[in-house]
Amino acid sequence: MIDTHICSFCGLQMEPGTGKMYVKKDGQIFYYCSTKCQKNHKLGRIPRRVRWTTAGRKALGKV
């Protein structure tokens, strides 16, 4: 079975062998599909307030 992960910021499904996995010291695991998602998460942006994320599109009523 191939493990597919969902990006922790934008909510898109990533193919195996792509993206980055970040593990915090407390054991939390974050998966990022791109550096765009990683940098936005590091800046403290909330995915619901960013238009191009899955949560942002849902908040706007476009999904």
Q: What is the DSSP string of 2-49?
A: ---EE-TTT-PEEPTT-SEEEE-TTS-EEEESSHHHHHHHHTT--GGG
Say if residues 3 and 16 touch (Cβ distance below 8 Å).
yes
Report whether 44 belongs to an annotated binding site. Answer: no
The response to whether 37 counts as a known ligand-binding position is yes
The reply, when asked if residue 31 is annotated as ligand binding, is: no
Is 23 annotated for ligand binding? no
Binding positions for Zn(2+) are 7, 10, 33, 37
Binding positions are 7, 10, 33, 37
